[in-house]
């Protein structure tokens, strides 16, 4: 087993990890601890993934704004740097074959890597939130605004309104307040009924009380500094002609309108399944998390595709701390470390605990049906400007699934390759046909997973 790996043109390595977030970093360190040669490919310029994005460059002031959870990312990044794994920044993986050959683009050159084992730790993407006015200038996702803050220390001038549901909504509102950004309101679609529905799952979640306490602290901090927080919001709509200027909604039985030049939307994250789908791995519809998840063994190995593992939020949403645990499990299992079974068993037990808390959060922050399957005049596919009404009309005309829909409307054929609409399209067709989403299926994903020019391909 060679220790150092020169990632020239065509290279063989024991284990290739795609993604250097908490999951990928833990997987690489675990595999290295078993003496395997490891290459980590990540499209970002530095390790950290979504949660710890840009941590190595973040000033103490920015770390202060982003909070202790963010600052805690320095340790796993240092561990990766010290592990002997070969970290390849700016490497956008655009194809992975079932024979475990990885094709990636770096500095405009196409490169290839063959691996004995592959661990996909490609994280999550934000769930689309199709609603009236969501395509207007001045409307972004909360995650996009947070990426600007983490990677470039850029904060919006404001005033800002945040709308939707889920932990990230409150976290970002709190981070923006700490950065001195005027936050006009946090408009939360979670209502009291959601709390009632989630109650039966609370006992199981209390074993991870720190996770829950963190959310309550964020809410208290926002209320404490006078930020308006509206709960149980519905009938959300962004107002504006050329650009967003306000958001309207109903809460507490009353109509509200909040002026804001920037409206940040967020209703949770879903696994980034493009690579596992392009590998033709089996996926199932997870109705608790309202998304497609790859079918895996408990170590993360894909069912029917030995040697390829998925870990982190890409295998189902579990949160940053648990992503590191599932990454370590996959790293140890992929390395075939015979001393690992006991440790893997203990790690699996802690993952089960976290999943119990996650089930509570999933039920509590379940996005509203109206914000998942929108009204006819709302654009669903932003790339090709296809509305929900067009999709419904074609379902009534006999269209049964998203791939047929793509052929009829180009929906999902644009630059984002369905990242912004695939979940919505499957849910909409299922609702219109009155069948389970599983029966409708998901968009077929093909390489390239990331844009690549013919010129780059020719290299």
Ligand X SMILES: Cc1cc2nc3c(=O)[nH]c(=O)nc-3n(C[C@H](O)[C@H](O)[C@H](O)COP(=O)(O)OP(=O)(O)OC[C@H]3O[C@@H](n4cnc5c(N)ncnc54)[C@H](O)[C@@H]3O)c2cc1C
Residues that bind ligand X (CB under 6 A): 18-24, 41-44, 49-51, 91-93, 121-126, 143, 146-147, 168, 171, 269, 272, 312-314, 319-320, 323, 449-450
CB 120 → ligand X: shortest distance, Å? Answer: 9
CB 175 → ligand X: shortest distance, Å? Answer: 8
Structure token pair of residue 437: 């989403």
Task: For residue 103, list its beta bridge partners.
Answer: 95, 112
Nearest by Cα to 329 from 3, 21, 29, 100: 29
> Residue 377 burial by CB count (10 A; 0-12/13-18/19+): exposed, middle or buried?
exposed
Nearest by Cα to 18 from 56, 44, 37, 36: 44
Q: Cα(16)–Cα(100) distance, rounded to whole angstroms?
A: 9
Considering the complex, state which of residue 50 and residue 299 has its C-beta at the smaller distance from ligand X: 50
CB 90 → ligand X: shortest distance, Å? Answer: 9
CB 81 → ligand X: shortest distance, Å? Answer: 15
Q: Specify whether the CB–CB gap between 169 and 183 falls below 8 A.
A: no
CB 429 → ligand X: shortest distance, Å? Answer: 25
CB 142 → ligand X: shortest distance, Å? Answer: 8
Structure token pair of residue 458: 């020719």
Helical residues (DSSP H) of 50-137, grouped into ranges: 60-66, 68-71, 74-82
| Residue 349: its H or E element | helix 341-364
Q: Specify whether the CB–CB gap between 163 and 249 falls below 8 A.
A: yes
CB 418 → ligand X: shortest distance, Å? Answer: 14
CB 266 → ligand X: shortest distance, Å? Answer: 9
Q: Cα(364)–Cα(81) distance, rounded to whole angstroms?
A: 38
Please name the residue that has the structure tokens 């190595």. Answer: 56
| Residue 194: its H or E element | helix 192-198
> How do the residues of the chain divide into helix, strand and coil, expressed in percent and rounded to 5?
40, 25, 35
Please, what is the Cα angle at 306 between 301 and 310, to 5 degrees?
30
Considering the complex, state which of residue 73 and residue 441 has its C-beta at the smaller distance from ligand X: 73
Considering the complex, state which of residue 178 and residue 245 has its C-beta at the smaller distance from ligand X: 178
| Residue 256: its H or E element | strand 254-259
Considering the complex, state which of residue 322 and residue 411 has its C-beta at the smaller distance from ligand X: 322
Q: Cα(64)–Cα(73) distance, rounded to whole angstroms?
A: 13
CB 332 → ligand X: shortest distance, Å? Answer: 16
Considering the complex, state which of residue 20 and residue 58 has its C-beta at the smaller distance from ligand X: 20
Strand bridging mode 92-96 / 101-106: antiparallel
Considering the complex, state which of residue 55 and residue 399 has its C-beta at the smaller distance from ligand X: 55
How many CB atoms lie under 10 A from the CB of residue 302? 24
Considering the complex, state which of residue 361 and residue 388 has its C-beta at the smaller distance from ligand X: 361
CB 159 → ligand X: shortest distance, Å? Answer: 22
Q: Specify whether the CB–CB gap between 91 and 447 falls below 8 A.
A: no
CB 214 → ligand X: shortest distance, Å? Answer: 9
Considering the complex, state which of residue 249 and residue 365 has its C-beta at the smaller distance from ligand X: 365
Considering the complex, state which of residue 73 and residue 130 has its C-beta at the smaller distance from ligand X: 73
Q: Specify whether the CB–CB gap between 54 and 46 falls below 8 A.
A: yes
Considering the complex, state which of residue 23 and residue 130 has its C-beta at the smaller distance from ligand X: 23
Considering the complex, state which of residue 143 and residue 374 has its C-beta at the smaller distance from ligand X: 143
Query: What is the residue-wise DSSP string for 216-229?
Result: HHHHHHHHHTT-EE
Strand bridging mode 109-120 / 10-18: parallel
């Amino acid at each position: 087993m060679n220790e150092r790996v020169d990632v020239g043109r065509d290279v063989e390595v024991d284990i290739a990890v795609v993604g250097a977030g908490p999951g990928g970093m833990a997987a690489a360190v675990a595999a290295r601890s078993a003496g395997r040669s490891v290459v980590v490919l990540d499209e970002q310029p530095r390790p950290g993934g979504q949660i710890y994005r840009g941590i190595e460059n973040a000033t103490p002031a920015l770390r202060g704004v982003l909070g202790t959870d963010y600052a805690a990312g320095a340790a796993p990044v240092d561990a990766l740097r010290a592990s002997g794994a070969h970290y390849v920044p700016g490497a956008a993986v655009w194809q992975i074959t079932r024979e475990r050959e990885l094709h990636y683009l770096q500095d405009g050159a196409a490169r290839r890597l063959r691996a004995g084992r592959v661990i996909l730790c490609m994280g999550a993407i934000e769930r689309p939130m199709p609603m009236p006015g969501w395509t207007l200038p001045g409307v972004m996702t909360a995650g996009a605004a947070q990426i600007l803050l983490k990677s470039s220390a850029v904060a919006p001038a404001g005033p800002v309104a945040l709308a939707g549901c889920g932990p990230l909504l409150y976290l970002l509102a709190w981070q923006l307040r700490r950065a001195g950004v005027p936050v006009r309101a946090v408009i939360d679609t979670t209502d009291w009924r959601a709390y009632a529905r989630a109650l039966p799952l609370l006992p199981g979640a209390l074993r991870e009380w720190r996770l829950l306490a963190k959310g309550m602290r964020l809410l208290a901090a926002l209320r404490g500094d006078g930020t308006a927080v509206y709960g149980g919001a519905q009938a959300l709509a962004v107002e504006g002609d050329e650009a967003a200027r306000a958001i309207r909604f109903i809460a507490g039985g009353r109509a509200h309108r909040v002026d804001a030049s920037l409206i940040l939307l967020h209703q949770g994250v879903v696994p980034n399944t493009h690579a596992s789908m392009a590998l033709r791995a089996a996926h199932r519809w997870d109705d608790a998390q309202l998304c497609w998840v790859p079918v895996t063994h408990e170590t993360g190995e894909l069912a029917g595709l030995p040697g390829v593992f998925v870990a982190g939020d890409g295998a189902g949403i579990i949160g940053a701390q648990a992503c590191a645990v599932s990454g370590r499990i996959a790293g140890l299992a992929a390395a075939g470390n015979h001393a690992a079974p006991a440790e893997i068993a203990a790690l699996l037990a802690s993952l089960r605990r976290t999943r119990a808390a996650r089930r509570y959060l999933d039920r509590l922050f379940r996005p509203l049906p109206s914000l998942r399957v929108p009204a006819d005049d709302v654009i669903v596919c932003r790339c090709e400007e296809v509305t929900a009404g067009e999709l419904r009309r074609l379902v009534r005309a006999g269209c049964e699934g998203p791939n047929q829909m793509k052929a009829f409307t180009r929906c999902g054929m644009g630059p984002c390759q369905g990242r912004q609409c695939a979940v919505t399209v499957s849910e909409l067709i299922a609702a219109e046909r009155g069948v389970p989403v599983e029966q409708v299926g998901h968009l077929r994903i093909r390489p390239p997973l990331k844009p690549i020019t013919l010129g780059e391909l020719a290299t």
